[in-house]
Amino acid sequence: MSGKRKYQKIAKDNAEITGWFEGCVVHHKDHNHGNNSIDNLQCLTKAEHCKIHMTGKITSEQTKQKLRLQRIGKPSGTKGKKRTDEQKLKISIAHLGQIPWNKGLSKPKSLSHVTSSQLVEQSHLE
């Protein structure tokens, strides 16, 4: 059994400890892939796992450009996604009391030439 399958199986077999769920990413808390003890394994979403490993890292402009090119023609993560009524309710509750970023701003004819500082400036004028 390969190393990857081994820790995936350990995490799945001990779901009550590791929090395993279908589609999760198994994370080694101590970043040592040789340490497959149950206490060292944690199941995360892909986003949570990325956040752990990318926090504080500086991404070069070249890498950012490669990532942008990889996303061309692909839908965003939430665009067109079907949500249950329960998910919609949770999202609504999470946004209660928040002021929309564009409240009070008039919509420019084309956003391609408008910078974020111009939008902020416009909001202060109104």
Structure tokens at 21: 């769920």
pTM value? 0.42
Confidence (pLDDT) at 113: 57
Regions of the chain with pLDDT less than 50: none
Q: For residue 2, what pLDDT is reported? A: 55
- pLDDT tens-digit map of 71-98: 787 766 666 778 889 888 888 888 888 8
pLDDT score for 119 = 55
Per DSSP, the residues of 37-63 read -GGGEEEE-HHHHHHHHHTTPPPPHHH
pLDDT at 122: 57
